[in-house]
Homo-oligomer: A and B are copies of this chain.
Amino acid sequence: MTTAGGEAVPSFGTRLGETFASLGHLCVGIDPHPYLLERWGMPDTATGVREFGLRVVEATATRAGIVKPQVAFYERHGSAGFAALEDVLAAARAAGILVIADAKRGDLGTSVEAYGQAWLTPGSPLEADAMTVSGFQGVGSLEAPAQLAARTGKGLFVLAATSNPESVGIQTAVITRGELSGRSVSAGIVAGVNIWNRAPLGSIGVVIGATVALEDYGITGDDLASTPILAPGFGHQGVGFDALPSVYGTASKNVIVSSSRAILDAGPDGIAATIDAQARTLSEVFSA
């Protein structure tokens, strides 16, 4: 895609690689859960979730390069919550922070296309740099948003192997039809996504939780060589950053390390120092 001025828009993968190089792999979650709003001294209202998000963005700027707002906590407040989210997204993007809207949208046909347009169209009120999506209706159902992302320099992260125990049955199930026959559902999603990506780093990523063992899903580091990986499950869910190489192997270089409660629990006065400390620890893991 080119802009109105005629310059080519860099791909999301390219921008992500630049962010990794300049500010590291840390992604700060923006999860205005009611218990955190209370701890932060903010009301459980649209005003509260706006203020919460803006404070997290302010603390993240120059300290980490990526934020991940959890859309559910904004949606909870209806259209006023979405108006708050629009302000948070705009503030983050204005600060040069990559924004991954954690929306986990999924559908088929023109409906999933509309979700892509909502979050990935330049100038859209909910414009983010990337969004999380569900491939339950098949990775092929995500063709329209993947194509939109390619045109607009945006990214997708497709749920592949999530960090909750209830998900294991479905995600390790074995595909019996078509060319991915014999692979797990998660490995099939990883393979489906690979088609869209090119070295060094593509724009269509996957979500693979830090608590999973890739071999349980038949996924190898090679399968993820050019694929961005959004990795929740560090910190709050009990996995330390130093586990990164053992979980993701050679694909660790592509991992966005998402940390939410372990940062947000620090409160408005402690958040900046906590982001600094986590970014430093993570940088040591990557330079080890």
Which residue numbers of A lie inside 8 Å of B, CB to CB?
A: 31, 33, 70, 72-73, 75-80, 82-83, 85-86, 102, 104-112, 114-115, 117-118, 124-126, 134-141, 159, 162-178, 180, 184-185, 188-189
Query: Can you show 17 pairs from A to B with CB atoms below 8 A apart?
Result: A72-B107, A72-B111, A72-B115, A76-B114, A76-B124, A78-B124, A78-B125, A79-B125, A102-B111, A104-B105, A135-B136, A136-B171, A168-B177, A168-B178, A169-B175, A172-B177, A173-B174
A137-B159 in contact given A169-B177, A176-B172 (Cβ < 8 Å): yes
Partner of A139, one of B138, B141, B166: B166
Chain B contacts for A33, CB-based, 8 A: 110, 114
B164 touches A169 (CB 8 A): no
Chain B contacts for A139, CB-based, 8 A: 166
B126 touches A75 (CB 8 A): yes
Chain B contacts for A79, CB-based, 8 A: 79-80, 82-83, 85-86, 125-126
